[in-house]
Amino acid sequence: MAKTRNADLAAWMKQRQMSATELAGAVNDTIRGFTGRAGTTSERTVFRWLSGENRWPQERQRRALQTVTGLSATALGFLPRGKHQTVPALPEVPDVRRRRFCSAATGAAAAAVTPAPAPRPSRVGTSDVIRLRDDVERLVALDASRGGHNTLEQAALAGAGEALSLQGQSATQRVRQRLYALASDFTATAAWSLIDAGQLDGAGRHLDRALTLAGLAQDSEMAMQVWNLRAMLARQRKRYPEAVAAAHAAQATAVVRRSPLHASLAQARVAVGLVHSGDSRAALRCLDRAEDALAKADPAGPRATWISFYGPAELYALTAIVRDEAGHPAEAEAASHRALAALPSSYRRNRAHTTARLALAQLHQNDIDQACATSGTVFTIMDGAPLPGRMRQLLGDFQRDLIARAPTARIAHEWSDRYRTEWSPS
């Protein structure tokens, strides 16, 4: 039978930016975890899996691969042979710490936010990096649905603490750098949760720490994330020159020079800072450059979890902000509609936020009735979940502009009476 390259395993490794040596090490570490002895998987073994020369790993390797990746052997592109054509599911290896972490992130048990540390092996490997990266992904997914909140911040800080605690164990230099990068990612996530919640005072301290950790990791991707958030924080504080400077710092990172996706986000962030500083022409030029860069990005290419939100929908949403602030509300409304059409359904918070922006653009065209109707759907989208502080502030801007434009209109007062308790802080 002709060899067929294992595209599924290759795609998983590319998504995780994992080398064959690292995957082999993770498999061997996992085998040691359930047998007491390290496995013998080598870099050559992984290459044979990738090439299709070995299409069905040994049982211990399959079990380890399932634990490392969270996927079955067949989902990873392996094909059973002979009597193994029907494959029973391998037993799952329980991960008590991961369940505690998820409980902390969802707020189901406050005491689980900082769980007691479990016994650790004397050596830290790639499997630990993968596990912590999965935790980051779960927090990002929670943020996309609900938005920033204090429990999310605490869960992220707990993750950063664990990543740093593993530095006390034996590890390769590459693993140490990845742990520092993960600690930076967790800490930046904690900062973002405060920014989105409208609790700005502590966000700056988290970002300072995250930038230090990104430096220790020598990771320009994480540095880009921090500067992007620093620009957002400065804009929330109405420190617009600082917002522009932070966005320019993001542009200067190495990842921007090699990635059109990151370059596009950096240009868009500069545009937002510039338009709030009063330089609309320069802002619109930056938007054009952001569009050009995004057109060059591979939409199916691997990307870090933190920037998974960015694509056409987010660029349209940022365009709506720039256009509205520049005095082009009709163009802002059109951009908001395009953003909503392109947003994945899982991004509930972003959908609600973009809808509020759409309502503002309609209001700024004096379409009072439509603006009030649109803004009311924000609460439907959030479906009873607490509104993040940043969204409450945006609805507060809407209410102030509504009263200013229609001070005697009955609909304006009805809107305030109906929604004040829903968007006001408790």
- The residue among 16, 83, 3 whose CA lies nearest residue 49 is 3
Q: Are residues 202 and 113 in the same domain?
A: yes
Q: Are residues 56 and 131 in the same domain?
A: no
Q: Are residues 71 and 153 in the same domain?
A: no
Q: Are residues 377 and 419 in the same domain?
A: yes
pLDDT greater than 60 at residue 401: yes
Q: What is the mean pLDDT of residues 75-90?
A: 65
| Tokens read off for 128 | 């630990």
Whether 339 is covered by a domain: the verdict is yes
Whether 141 is covered by a domain: the verdict is yes
Task: Give the number of other CB atoms < 10 A from CB of residue 420.
Answer: 12
Cα 300 to Cα 308: distance, rounded to the nearest angstrom: 11
Whether 290 is covered by a domain: the verdict is no
Q: Are residues 206 and 158 in the same domain?
A: yes
Q: Are residues 159 and 214 in the same domain?
A: yes
Which of 168, 187, 218 represents a domain boundary (last residue)? 218
pLDDT given at position 422: 67
For a pLDDT cut of 70, what percent of the chain falls above it? 86
Whether 244 is covered by a domain: the verdict is no
Whether 305 is covered by a domain: the verdict is no
pLDDT confidence tier of residue 419, bands split at 50, 70 and 90 = confident
Which of 218, 238, 263 represents a domain boundary (last residue)? 218
Domain that holds residue 187: 98-218
Q: What is the mean pLDDT of residues 91-104?
A: 44
Per-residue pLDDT tens digits for 319-368: 999 999 999 999 999 999 999 999 988 888 899 999 999 999 999 999 99
Per-residue pLDDT tens digits for 101-145: 444 444 433 333 334 444 445 677 777 888 888 888 888 777 766
- The residue among 69, 138, 146 whose CA lies nearest residue 104 is 138
Q: What is the mean pLDDT of residues 360-383?
A: 92
pLDDT greater than 90 at residue 184: yes
Whether 64 is covered by a domain: the verdict is yes
Per-residue pLDDT tens digits for 262-313: 999 999 999 999 999 999 999 999 999 999 999 999 887 778 888 988 999 9
pLDDT given at position 148: 61
Number of domains observed in the structure of the chain: 3
Q: What is the mean pLDDT of residues 17-30?
A: 80
Highest mean pLDDT among 33-37, 76-80, 299-303, 416-420: 76-80
Q: Are residues 57 and 105 in the same domain?
A: no
Query: Which of 18-22, 50-54, 271-275 has the weakest average pLDDT?
Result: 18-22
Q: Are residues 109 and 155 in the same domain?
A: yes
Q: Are residues 63 and 118 in the same domain?
A: no
Q: Are residues 119 and 151 in the same domain?
A: yes
Average pLDDT over the chain reads 84
Which of 194, 218, 242 represents a domain boundary (last residue)? 218
